Amino acid sequence: MTSAQLQQHLHSLEERLLHPDREANRSELNALLAPEFKEFCTSGRIFNTNQLMQALSNSSARNASMSHFYVTPLGEEAALATYHISTANSTSHHSSIWVKRGDNWQMLFHQGTIAA
């Protein structure tokens, strides 16, 4: 996979997690998360896989857009994705570590921080 293809692929996976309401079956999002996944949320809460899946299954549509998306390869089977999320009320900076397991990429870690 080229750098451009990896960037496009991880961007599409991040979009799926950002807008779970667009999924026909939200439970399929679980495959995008590593079993040992951890997230430090912009709210200050810490989520594991089960807690995030619960939040995704109960979330409603939101007007949020992703920009400044960039992927830095960390090796053949790991990558760092960084980007901004903008809503009507705030802008936040995000970073995710993705790992390739078999033929699939899974998010291992995510952090969001409110922009100053």
Confidence (pLDDT) at 62:
83
Confidence (pLDDT) at 72:
97
Q: pLDDT below 70 — which residues of the chain?
A: none
Confidence (pLDDT) at 55:
87
Confidence (pLDDT) at 9:
97
Confidence (pLDDT) at 42:
85
Determine the longest span between alpha carbons in the chain, in angstroms: 39
Confidence (pLDDT) at 111:
97
List C-alpha distances in Å: 36 to 20, 46, 50, 81, 109: 20, 13, 10, 18, 9
Q: Amino acid identity, residue 54?
A: Q
